[in-house]
Amino acid sequence: MSTVLERPLDVVADFPAIPAGWAYLDTAATAQKPKPVIDAIARGYGETYATVHRGVYARSADMTIAYEAARRRVAAFLGAASADEIVFVRGATEGINLVAQCWAATQLKAGDRILLSQLEHHANIVPWQMAAQRVGAAIDVCPLTADGRIDLDAAEAMLTPAHKLVSLAHVSNVLGSILDVHRAVEIAHRVGAKILIDGCQAVPRLPVDVTALNCDFYVFSGHKLYGPTGIGVLWGRAELLDRMPPWQGGGAMIDRVSFERTTYAAPPARFEAGTPHIVGALGLHAAIDYVDAIGLSRIHAHEAALVANAREALRGINSVRLLGPDDSAGIVSFAVGGVHPHDVGTILDEAHVAIRAGHHCAQPLMAALGVEATARASFGVYNGPQDIEALVDGVRRVTRIFG
């Protein structure tokens, strides 16, 4: 039976890049931008632009206030204890690499172990491989349950005191499965391991409170949260950031420089070398305000209803194989028997339906699923029943074309 929301969202008019008749179903890759975000970026470049932290003139001081206000807004959004725990990065990929190089590569030693899962994005695999190779650590891989969740029973059985780090996705970018972060943190800490959570697909859909979750690091990308590209966030416990060496050298991250010796600024400045993405931070601030005004609980309920209806409709097409759990968060991955996902995506595009097709930067997961690639429809606040109808009609056309 179709799921109906009591108060469905009707915000598509806020998104000027979504024309009438176009079903944008690729939000898991990147979200479209609402007018308040676009306006904040235009205002930042067109009216109030100046550098931050260095200028003594009024506009620079005002921009510095706005930039640091964005940091405080992110801290409040994530439930961080302090804005000093918020490091601005280019995106979650850079945030994970920062932890891999500045924490793992300096804290781990030969014989230590890292635990990942089969469903991780490449950005949550490759940096750990690089760090492990550098110090002689080893990586273990947690399997999935039958419906595509990280198997925390298996993780608990695998973890030993030799494991110093666990790094897992809060929400799978392929399957939409939601991690029980509280339990993952508990079993990691029980053996003395630190835990990083990749929140890229979670923060646009679920309320996140890092203090309540009790994790050690949390990362996300602004562009998946209806904000601009090129800005992201690493949250880390203050005591962990304090012990980490700099990520890059340059301006802004220093205390004092001489040719004999350089001393470094305290976090977060220590990890933000060079002129930052100033206007990106302003856009991220606006995006968080936009999402909070709607309410993350309401967004999750809206997307859950869309997922339920899409899965029900696609399940009625005999040649379609659905992947992941029924209660996935905003994401529906599927395969059409005998048809490559790229062909599915091309035919859907002809019908003005935009989906993702490929391995979704999760090749180990594809191998575990026994496929080379999948088609993926992912929802945002701007989607509605008409988009599901267009998707299903397009998939039916695919099956007719390929027989």
Whether the per-residue pLDDT at 326 is higher than 60: the answer is: yes
Cβ–Cβ < 8 Å for 332, 315: no
Cis check for the bond before 245: say yes or no (omega within 30 of 0). Answer: no
Mean pLDDT for the stretch of residues 63-86: 98
Whether the per-residue pLDDT at 3 is higher than 90: the answer is: no
Residues 94-121 pLDDT 10s: 999 999 999 999 999 999 999 999 999 9
Residues 276-301 pLDDT 10s: 999 999 999 999 999 999 999 999 99
Q: DSSP string of 223-271?
A: GGGTS-TT-EEEEE-HHHHHHSPPSS-SSSSEEEE-SS-EEEPPTTGGG
Q: How far apart (Å, rounded) are the C-alpha atoms in residues 279 and 281?
A: 5
Q: How far apart (Å, rounded) are the C-alpha atoms in residues 326 and 350?
A: 28
Whether the per-residue pLDDT at 5 is higher than 70: the answer is: no
Cβ–Cβ < 8 Å for 320, 314: yes
Whether the per-residue pLDDT at 6 is higher than 90: the answer is: no
Type of residue at 281: A
Residues 336-359 pLDDT 10s: 999 999 999 999 999 999 999 999
**pLDDT at 43 (0 to 100):** 98
Hey, what long-range contacts does 109-112 have (CB within 8 A, 24 or more apart)? 109/135, 109/136, 109/137, 110/135, 110/136, 110/137, 111/136, 111/137, 111/138, 111/162, 112/137, 112/138, 112/162, 112/163, 112/164
**pLDDT at 9 (0 to 100):** 87
Residues 216-260 pLDDT 10s: 999 999 999 999 999 999 999 999 999 999 999 999 999 999 999
Q: Among 52-56, 302-306, 349-353, which is the least confidently predicted range?
A: 52-56
Mean pLDDT for the stretch of residues 125-133: 98
Mean pLDDT for the stretch of residues 349-375: 97
First to last CA, the chain: 28
For residue 361, indicate whether it is catalytic: yes
Confidence band for 55, pLDDT divided at 50, 70 and 90: confident
Cβ–Cβ < 8 Å for 369, 2: no
Q: Which domains are present in the chain?
A: 12-29+295-402 (3.90.1150.10), 37-292 (3.40.640.10)
**pLDDT at 1 (0 to 100):** 46
Place of tokens 């996705």: 169
| Secondary structure element (H or E) that encloses residue 82, with its range | none
Q: Which of 102, 200, 215, 361 is catalytic?
A: 361
Cβ–Cβ < 8 Å for 227, 198: no
Mean pLDDT for the stretch of residues 358-364: 97
User: Pairing state of beta strands 86-89 and 232-236?
Assistant: antiparallel
Q: Any bridge partners for residue 141, and if so which? A: 116
